[in-house]
């Protein structure tokens, strides 16, 4: 029995538990999530005149704090307790005897099904999905604090294997080094080294040879001498670099160490061709930001592509491959949209600005239904077209690369599914990046999936997520909490550990959170676009003046709504697309409810479109109408500027700096944010930043040090936090500068693309080595995944396709 429950039942607080349960029964809610539970308990404490300490410090208070869900049944209540991160316990408390019985995951899923009246015990069992057996024989992290540090764990695991069985692992290293080539040219070792024993001997001989040379002697000067010893290009570009690499390998063979293993593998030239998959949305370099289903994904993937190419070039140079004319290639795989609405999304191939060999490759969806496939399709509707898209994309990629890629990185649920289908067929390493999992964004989305299916098709999306995340060799997350949340909240991936989709399936074990496949690698910002407002020498005066006019004074009914009565007031700024989760309307209402804040500040929003008839997205249309209602309700016409513009990339960086020139602040009010690129953009520009406490911003911002947390569901508290900051800045202007400077430092020391891509490529090499050397058999796992694809995903995708034919 849970210690938390036992201590309550064995104390005088047992009666309080009964009274609290009775209060819950009298309410209208029978399924309570954590916020509901805390609110109800706070009300209970007030109604029963409990001491101030009771709510948080009593035995019952501690039990309530760790309770994530309560489900009220006829004569019992079901408690889902989360005593620590990545750990869940389930109990049924029966009345009036106050008997406690633990429930299995299967029993909990049955309780949830009964709650929504979709399951009756006499109707037979439900299809169960359980991935646990496939992780039973894989290395597993033990300590929750190490979740997200998978590669560190894997390095320790691999180096311990080297130490335990040196002959086997020396053979594995030898075979691994033997397979590397580029366009038919052998890399690393050649046929003169015929065994693992000879490899070890030759390494020592080569170290002695290059050790007698001047450190900076170019590799080309002694290339043929090394070849005679059995070493091909790839060890380094100078004598000192070659010596360092060989010494790391020598140390690794003689005394295995995790740091040496990572250091060696990070130098191996084995990644030359990368695919970044980003299917849904408008993907382009101009005219797409602000459209539905784009925004952050385009910025992230384009910046990542540029940085990856640059890092690959640097790595290849350091490896001594200049003489081979090695040219890395990065392809962003997206969809071609024939009716492109003035964008370049109807072009098959587009070079990525600022790259030598980075490309956007757009592959069309097959014309199963031209009314759909020739136009933009929402991320919620794209599922029927992805299998054939992957088949067509495989051919296109092969033509562009003149071979197969070395690494495929999926983005979002649909891109991750396509990455799986491609990696399965091509037998290459697959990485996943979720950015945001819809399951966490929409409450009860799995429980009430049938009611939401017509709009969101979660049955397809959640099945695709299960398939892709279990198939991936590595999952990249931006934050630790994205995986397993915080002590008081469940992580995005954690929400997939067990759940029910009534009448469809039960997920008993959907993902192994302690798997070393999880790695936290936060993105960076494009430092050529986003940089501090103080760098006047890098700013364009004409652009600055144009944006100042647009933000504060321009009268243009097609682009701007609202005329400021006093443009000199301190600006509160936010920029996001208009959807419910981004919550721009919530920020407007927060501002509207605070006359004090209106006295000190204006509100400036860059938010999608101004007119309902310009949008084809239902949620965006609702938010546009809602924003107009809020402006009217609070009479904000002369206190708000709403810009319905699509800014070019350079302007999106300068707009933050113009706000910083006026000592403004940036507010990110999302109801949930997986990471928060706009927060990084604002902070590096020098804007003091207020970010949502729900999601990734908790790991970017250090509260009251270089920014501030806000609870966007508490409008009065949010308004007061911003007001307190503004008033303090008016009293002490240096306070604004202090927060501004600390925000800039935070980004430069932690969130750059150089840091991101160096780590990402290191991961790719290490996981490539793990897959080659381990005896882990993935075929059984992949066959199980394929069964889910063909038995669940594909039939439902066909149903959706049929619906599309009638539109």
Task: State whether CATH 3.40.50.2000 applies to domain 536-751.
Answer: yes
Residue 801 pLDDT grade (very low, low, confident, very high; cuts 50, 70, 90): very high
Q: Where in the chain is the domain with CATH 3.40.50.2000?
A: 273-432+446-479+516-524+759-805, 536-751
Nearest residue to 132 via CA among 518, 438, 429, 466: 466
How many Cβ atoms are within 10 Å of 806's Cβ, its own excluded? 7
**CB 469, CB 47: distance < 8 Å:** no
DSSP assignments along 433-449, one per residue = E-S--HHHHSTTTTTTH
Q: Where in the chain is the domain with CATH 3.10.450.330?
A: 3-103
Question: Strands across the sheet with 518-520, in order?
Answer: 349-351, 358-364, 329-336, 273-277, 407-411, 429-433, 474-477, 518-520
Q: Where in the chain is the domain with CATH 1.20.120.1230?
A: 151-178+189-231+235-265
How confident is the model at residue 536, as a pLDDT? 96
How confident is the model at residue 775, as a pLDDT? 63
Q: What is the distance between the alpha carbons of residues 614 and 617, in angstroms, rounded to a whole number? A: 9
Flag whether pLDDT at 471 surpasses 70: yes
Q: What percent of the chain has pLDDT over 90?
A: 80
Higher pLDDT, 591 or 778: 591
The 10s digit of each residue's pLDDT in 41-65 is: 999 999 999 998 999 999 999 999 9
The 10s digit of each residue's pLDDT in 493-551 is: 999 999 999 999 999 999 999 999 999 999 998 899 999 999 999 999 999 999 999 99
Residues found in the chain: 807
pTM for the model: 0.87
Flag whether pLDDT at 710 surpasses 70: yes
* Encoded tokens for 637: 């016409």
How confident is the model at residue 118, as a pLDDT? 53
How confident is the model at residue 163, as a pLDDT? 79
* Encoded tokens for 172: 């594995």
DSSP assignments along 393-462, one per residue = HHHHHHHHHTS--SEEEEEHHHHHHHHHHHHHHHT-EEEEE-S--HHHHSTTTTTTHHHHHHHH-HHHHH
Residue 739 pLDDT grade (very low, low, confident, very high; cuts 50, 70, 90): very high
How confident is the model at residue 806, as a pLDDT? 85
Q: What is the distance between the alpha carbons of residues 239 and 209, in angstroms, rounded to a whole number? A: 9
The 10s digit of each residue's pLDDT in 639-680 is: 999 999 878 777 889 999 999 999 999 999 999 887 888 999
Lowest mean pLDDT among 162-176, 402-416, 464-478, 687-701: 162-176
Query: What is the mean pLDDT of the segment spanning 613-621?
Result: 87
Residues in contact with 724: Cβ distance below 8 Å, sequence separation at least 6, in sequence order: none
How confident is the model at residue 371, as a pLDDT? 86
User: Which CATH code for domain 3-103?
Assistant: 3.10.450.330
Beta strands in 499-598 (DSSP E): 499-501, 505-509, 518-520, 560-561, 570-575
Most confident listed range (280-289, 434-443, 471-480, 774-783)? 471-480
Q: What is the distance between the alpha carbons of residues 505 and 310, in angstroms, rounded to a whole number? A: 45
Flag whether pLDDT at 146 surpasses 80: yes
Question: Strands across the sheet with 87-94, in order?
Answer: 31-33, 67-72, 76-84, 87-94, 99-102
Flag whether pLDDT at 121 surpasses 60: no
Fold of the CATH domain 151-178+189-231+235-265: 1.20.120
- Residue 667 falls in which region: left (phi positive, over 0), alpha (psi -120 to 50) or beta: beta
CATH superfamily of 273-432+446-479+516-524+759-805: Glycogen Phosphorylase B; (3.40.50.2000)
The 10s digit of each residue's pLDDT in 358-381 is: 999 999 999 888 889 999 999 999
Beta strands in 345-385 (DSSP E): 349-351, 358-364
How many Cβ atoms are within 10 Å of 247's Cβ, its own excluded? 17
Distances, alpha carbon 632 to alpha carbons 49, 557, 641, in Å: 42, 17, 13
Residue with tokens 């407002």, as numbered in its chain: 533
Cis ω on the peptide bond leading into residue 421 (within 30° of 0)?
no
Residue with tokens 């995005």, as numbered in its chain: 492
Higher pLDDT, 428 or 256: 428
* Encoded tokens for 687: 């804007």
Residue 557 pLDDT grade (very low, low, confident, very high; cuts 50, 70, 90): confident
Q: What is the distance between the alpha carbons of residues 197 and 179, in angstroms, rounded to a whole number? A: 18
Higher pLDDT, 744 or 25: 744
For helices 258-265 and 150-164, the axis angle rounded to 10 degrees is 110
Cα of 624 vs its chain's centroid, Å: 27
What is the maximal distance between C-alpha atoms in the chain? 87
**CB 432, CB 476: distance < 8 Å:** yes
How confident is the model at residue 776, as a pLDDT? 63
Residues in contact with 682: Cβ distance below 8 Å, sequence separation at least 6, in sequence order: 573, 656, 666, 668, 689, 743
What are the residues facing 476 on neighbouring strands?
433, 519
Q: What is the distance between the alpha carbons of residues 719 and 597, in angstroms, rounded to a whole number? A: 7
């Amino acid at each position: 029995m849970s210690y938390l429950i036992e201590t309550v039942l064995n104390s005088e607080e047992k009666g309080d538990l009964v009274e609290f349960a009775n209060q819950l029964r009298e309410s209208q809610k029978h399924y309570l999530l954590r916020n509901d539970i805390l609110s109800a308990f706070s009300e209970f404490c007030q109604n029963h005149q409990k001491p101030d300490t009771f709510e948080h410090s009593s035995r019952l208070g501690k039990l309530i704090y760790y309770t994530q869900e309560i489900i009220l049944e006829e004569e019992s209540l079901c408690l889902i307790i989360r005593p620590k991160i990545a750990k869940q316990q389930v109990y049924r408390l029966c009345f009036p005897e106050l008997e406690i019985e633990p429930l299995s995951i299967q029993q909990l899923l049955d309780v949830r099904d009964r709650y929504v009246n979709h399951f009756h015990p006499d109707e037979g069992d439900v299809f169960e999905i359980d991935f646990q057996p496939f992780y039973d024989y894989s290395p597993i992290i033990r300590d929750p604090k190490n979740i997200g540090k998978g590669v560190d764990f894997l390095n320790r695991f691999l180096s311990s294997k080297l130490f335990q069985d040196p002959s086997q692992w020396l053979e594995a290293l030898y075979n691994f080094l033997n397979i590397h080539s580029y366009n038919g040219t052998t890399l690393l070792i050649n046929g003169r080294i015929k065994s693992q024993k000879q490899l070890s001997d030759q390494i020592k001989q080569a170290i002695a040879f290059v050790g007698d040379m001047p450190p900076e002697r170019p590799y080309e000067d002694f290339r043929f001498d090394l070849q005679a010893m059995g070493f091909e290009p790839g060890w380094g570009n100078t004598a000192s670099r070659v010596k360092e690499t060989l010494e790391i390998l020598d140390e690794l063979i003689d005394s295995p160490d995790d740091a040496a293993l990572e250091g060696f593998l990070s130098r191996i030239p084995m990644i030359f061709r990368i695919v970044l998959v980003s299917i849904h949305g408008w993907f382009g370099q101009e005219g797409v930001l602000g459209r539905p289903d784009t925004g952050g994904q385009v910025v992230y993937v384009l910046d990542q592509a540029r940085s990856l190419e640059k890092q690959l070039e640097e790595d290849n140079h350091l490896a001594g491959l200049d003489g081979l004319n090695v040219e890395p290639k990065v392809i962003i795989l997206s969809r071609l949209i024939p009716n492109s609405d003035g964008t370049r999304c109807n072009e098959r191939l587009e070079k990525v600005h600022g790259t030598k060999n980075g490309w956007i490759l757009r592959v069309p969806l097959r014309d199963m239904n031209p009314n759909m496939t020739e136009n933009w399709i929402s991320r919620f509707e794209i599922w029927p077209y992805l299998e054939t898209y992957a088949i067509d994309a495989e051919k296109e990629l092969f033509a562009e690369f003149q071979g197969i890629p070395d690494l495929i990185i999926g983005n979002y649920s649909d891109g991750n599914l396509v990455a799986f289908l491609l990696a399965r067929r091509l037998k290459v390493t697959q990485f996943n990046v979720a950015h945001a999992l819809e399951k966490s964004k929409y409450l009860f989305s799995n429980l009430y999936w049938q009611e939401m299916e017509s709009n969101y098709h979660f049955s397809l999306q959640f099945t695709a997520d299960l398939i892709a995340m279990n198939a991936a060799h590595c999952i990249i997350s931006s934050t630790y909490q994205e995986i397993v949340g915080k002590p008081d909240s469940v992580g995005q991936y954690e929400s997939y550990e067990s759940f029910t989709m009534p009448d469809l399936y039960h997920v008993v074990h959907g993902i192994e959170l302690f798997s070393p496949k999880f790695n936290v690698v936060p993105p960076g910002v494009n430092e050529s676009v986003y940089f501090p407002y103080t760098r006047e020498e890098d700013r364009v005066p004409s652009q600055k003046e144009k944006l100042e006019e647009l933000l504060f004074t321009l009268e243009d009914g097609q682009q701007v709504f609202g005329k400021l009565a006093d443009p000199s007031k301190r600006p509160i700024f936010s920029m996001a697309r208009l959807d419910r989760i981004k919550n721009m309307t919530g920020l407007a209402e927060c501002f509207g409810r605070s006359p004090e804040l209106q006295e000190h500040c204006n509100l400036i929003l860059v938010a999608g479109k101004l007119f309902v008839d310009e949008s084809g997205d239902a949620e965006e249309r609702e938010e546009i109408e809602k924003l107009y209602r809020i402006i009217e309700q609070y009479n904000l016409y002369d206190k708000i500027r709403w810009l319905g513009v699509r800014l070019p990339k350079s302007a999106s960086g300068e707009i933050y700096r113009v706000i910083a020139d006026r000592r403004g602040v940036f507010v990110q009010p999302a109801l949930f944010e997986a990471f928060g690129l706009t927060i990084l953009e604002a902070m590096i520009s020098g804007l003091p930043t207020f970010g949502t406490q729900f999601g990734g911003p908790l790991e970017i911002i250090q509260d009251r040090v270089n920014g501030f947390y806000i609870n966007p569901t508490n409008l009065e508290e949010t308004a007061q936090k911003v007001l307190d900051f503004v008033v303090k800045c008016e009293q002490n202007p240096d306070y604004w500068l202090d927060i501004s400077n600390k925000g800039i430092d935070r980004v430069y020391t932690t969130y750059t693309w150089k840091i991101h891509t160096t780590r990402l490529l290191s991961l790719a090499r290490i996981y490539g080595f793990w897959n080659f050397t381990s005896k882990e058999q993935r075929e059984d796992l992949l066959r199980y995944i394929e069964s889910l694809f063909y038995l669940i995903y594909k039939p439902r995708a066909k149903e959706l396709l049929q619906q599309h034919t009638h539109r």
